[in-house]
Structure 1
Amino acid sequence: MNSLAAPSLQLSELGEDMRYRLLVDAVTDYAIYMLDPEGRVVSWNPGAQRLKGYTPAQILGQSFSSFYTEDDRLAGLPARALVTAATQGRFEAEGWRVRKDGSRFWALVVIEPIRGDDGGIVGYAKVTRDLTERRAAEESLRRSEEQFRVLVQGVTDYAIYMLDPQGLVANWNAGAQRIKGYAAAEVVGTHFSRFYRAEDRARDEPGHALATAAREGRFEAEGWRVRKDGSEFRANVVIDAIRDDDGRIVGFAKITRDVTAQRAAQQALERAREALFQSQKLDAIGQLTGGVAHDFNNLLMVVMSSLSLVRRRLPDDPKLVQLIDNALNGARRGAALTQRMLAFARRQDLKPTVVRLPALVEGMAELLTRTLGSTVQVQTAFAPALPPVLVDANQLELALLNLAVNARDAMPEGGQLTLSAQEETLAQSGAIAPGHYVRLAVTDTGSGMDAATLARATEPFFTTKGAGKGTGLGLAMVHGLAGQSGGGFTLQSQAGQGTTATLWLPVADDDTPAAAPARAAVASPAVAAMRVLAVDDDPLVLTNTVALLEELGHSVLQTATAEEALRLLRADATIALLVSDHVMPHMTGAQLIAKVRQERPQLPVVLATGYAELPAGLPPRTVRLGKPFDQAGLALAIADALADR
């Protein structure tokens, strides 16, 4: 038998009240004391004296409100704490408390009512811990054996019990029963290692905890523990060594608190912070991308319109014409790139119409076959009686083409591409709003993506393709189109098991008007010459807009500000048309048109913009002209504005 066996016999010979006295006396990290029903202190332990500075003679019989700051006393916090404990069964809070010398410390306080046999409140059990320095100090309670027993049994938020030197449970309080599920008769006399997981027992964590407490006087840790029913909970554990007057270990005081909820809340907060950070990052990229794309649109418009005008006026030199056409094609590719950027930023100018997906996909069949090649087999699986959706048909075709090209690149040896669609109603599905949708899925049998790639797949400019083989905007554009259309976009993929890209498109309402037939742009409509006012704050764009208008035969006044435009309109009644940019300082094009409508309600107007975001109250009969535009597009917009008049 080892040297610690003798104290074990001494401990077992002690009465239960004495063991409770020893237990509470050994808890050095908490102040544990008792209040009478009026809040007067009726017991006081050395731990409380260490934390607060009062001797028993100085504090017994005094109101516990003396531990509170003056502001808290004036606010009635001590009384509310007792009322909360009496009515709700427990009061817990953190706050500033005051020592005898006037210094303050930050305390965690738990107050629980102690009820007599008749159910009436006979006092309160109060546990206070100094969280300012979190250091161990000895506590001892100076109260009767019955008060110690009632005090410990009254604490239900903490499992407070005692171990003998070998780790056998010597007593058990109500908090231990509530947290761990065992009644005292089931657990007293058994080893406390039963509360540990099997893998933790295999590493002898219980033995390490007792050895640390015996060697250093105290052990504190957080880890997983097991209840009687086998469920696990996250626990904060403190073990203090109990020594007799000769310094020999006679047992251990153990305090356990269930911190599962707090840990889950912290993890949820961290996940929310990460999600917020990701959302803010993408929003910032979207704002930057949208702004850059808008500026590119203006520059491309200058290039495209200038090249078009130069091409008309040059002599018939095939080499020069070829070079200009080549430059125009490059500018058009740049315009397509800005459309993708605006799609990601959800700032493209969409023209949603009623679209029947089977007909749209059927119309793309030849394009898909030519694009994907003979090694990729395309199949369709559309549900019968599929309702139409509300979406920009041209942008949806571009999105499907992007997804098909991605699938082809993921199947270098060939494979199968399936386009399927079915009607679904979502109640709540994360980022996709509840509603009535058609789920359009594009599934391939390609290489798929690992978790890291999938997590970044829709980020703008992220690509796994080699240099010069992709902009990284394809999936970002699809994601932006779906969101701007009132739906959503999801990706499912596993490495080696293919990918499914899903567009959730809103079902068109019964009263949604059908799309107007496309207007042929084979020639510019004939419009009589008129006096036109052109407004744009970008001098390059303004110069080219004026040149295009003059090429159409119109007389043009120009200005860079909306304020000057109003002055010119008021001074010159012969102005028969207003062509204005939207994004301008001080006053936007939409605001300018609203003012013009008040003074000259019949004046035809054309609003040029590369953004989809326009005010909800845009004046009626405002013809929108998307940037970048060419002479034919400008002529069509003018004809539409005159027809609306």
Structure 2
Amino acid sequence: MSNNEPLLVDNLDMKSSTPPTIGLKSSLSIRSKGAPPPEAQPECQLMCPSIMDRIISLSPVPTIVLNSSFDILEVSCSQINFSGLDRDDYIGANIYNLDPAKIPVTSIEALRNGIDKAIKLRSVCKIDSIEVVSHSYYCNLRISPIFENDSSLVYIILESCDITKIHREGDVVDPSLDAPDIYKHLIDSVKHVVIFMLTPEGNVATWNDGASALKGYAAEEIIGQHFSIFYSPEDRLKDKPRKELAKCLQDGKLEDEGWRVRKDGTKFFANVVISPVYRFRVLVGFSKVTRDITDRKETEDRLVAAYEESAKLKSQFLANMSHEIRTPMHGMLAALTLLKDTGLNDKQDEYAKIIENSGSILLRVINDILDYSKLSSGTFTLNSDLLSVQQIHRNAIQHCQTLLKPGITLTSEVAEAIPEFSKGDPLRYQQILQNLLMNSAKFTESGSIHVRSKLTNDELSSHRIYTEVIDTGIGVAAEAAKRLFDPFTQVFSSTGEQYQGIGLGLAICRNLIDFMGGSIGYHPNPDGQGSVFWFSVRLGKVDVATSPGPSGALSPIEMEPIEELKAIAPGKQLLLVEDNKISQAVMLKLLKNLGFGRVDAAYDGAQALKMLRAKPFSYHAVLMDINMPVMDGVEATVEIRNSLKLDIPIIAMTANALQGDAEMYLSKGMDGYVSKPVNRNHLIKNLVRVLR
């Protein structure tokens, strides 16, 4: 009979309980591509006891049916034709005792892992890209477990699918493949990204080539293992794998970066994305995508280290620059203060004021550079202390009075609704207001400058203060206004030297406002010529019961402590520790002019310790420089506190003025801090505070 002749079915009685007898008039010629020719194949004539057996027997796909003990119950003719074995060689044999090439599979171990995985997942699994050398073709082995009543394993069906064409023509996708097969083929072919599935319990269910390449495990040795094997002992001790799956279920996705472990124990830095996988709203597992980003991590670490080293060198340079400029300025401005106390005539006093103003401008430039450097590097911190908006207005106005051109009026207005005390950083709040006032004073040739603050928002624990600085100056062009708060920008660079500067004042204001969580801006004066600069910050509320009274820390600036100091100074003896001869000579004269009965001097910390050890109770306070040879001021202070056990007040007097310097000196046992060039009023306040 030809291949097209029909099968003969005898005595087919649908009502009979006896299975029909099915006869094959000739041998089946169904075979896989590349299988031995028909004449070399044994004749396969079967009598199938059931329709299902008949379907299996005649399936064009080589098929083997196992029972739960992995013994062969049935085999298709196509499988017999492919393998060259007899039916009797299959039926009753245990699948694990067969030659792997006759199944076909690469190894019995691979088959065992595949069957175990299919049973564990209760799902169809595949062993991919099996090369059958004797037949020169490739196939996939499809493993399908059959469960009865969704509980007991009854059968296992093995089916071989010819994929030789796909292997030989890798760029052609077999149209007979369904979508899951195509996606699996794509995922398995990815070499540089780890993509695999986990069971709901976290066991590895699938494994692609990228996973084998990166992690070092073959599919047959990792499938079924818990994915915690990829984590370090420290992470496993913290139960990180389980927590990641729980977090993934909670958030719908988890992304993490951290160190993971290969099979050989080496580590790599990974970017990991875990997503839950649902089928019919039932969790069936997790997808896990891992990328090796060790190179990126190492590059980032090098960049961070280089940045930190650069920032360190920059900070050290700024500290050295500040110290080297402030030290001679201290001697110059302190000597100028003494000169002004000698009774100068009008012409001499005019020259002295020119020197004083020039020194103040230079000092302001240094402070601006240091402040901007701290702000831009992220090392800047804010304090949270009591502040008085009213007092800050008074302080800022008093500071700017000397900058006003003749005929300019400077006025202040604070709304009554603003509390007397708030919580914030008084130094930085005043710096912002002072910078804006100085800016207005610089560009206002005639008319007035008015500063006013009002309460714009009052909440349970805080309130917002809105402040405006209104002037009748030269104003700002609309195009230039866009660049007002950019660093190192001189909006009026072409209008003459009288308006020159380094262009940092407003940029510093904006950065300070950003740190304080506020806002700042500019608009033209609505009443005519001039500008309006405004800023808004939120300040914390203060319990009225804890607010300082009139004699508290925020006493009016008009209450100068100079008279109090002159009253107590004659009975006090000071020790000045200063290595710079000019600064020492000027400070000795300044302190004696303030009325101190006796002021001794030491050139370094070691000499100061020697003098204090000889006369431990003779001195009432120490003015301590920081950068000195032999022994610096910080080390000397620690020795005074720890070795000499003296509780004498120590005030740091130094050209170091970077962020954190004052806090560090106070933490080492000092009682105050005065930066160079020394402001006499600031020095007087500190002396009164520790000697009172």
TM-score scaled by structure 2? Answer: 0.44
Please identify the structure whose Cα radius of gyration is greater: 2
Question: Relative CO higher for 1 or 2, CA cutoff 8 Å, sep ≥ 6?
Answer: 1
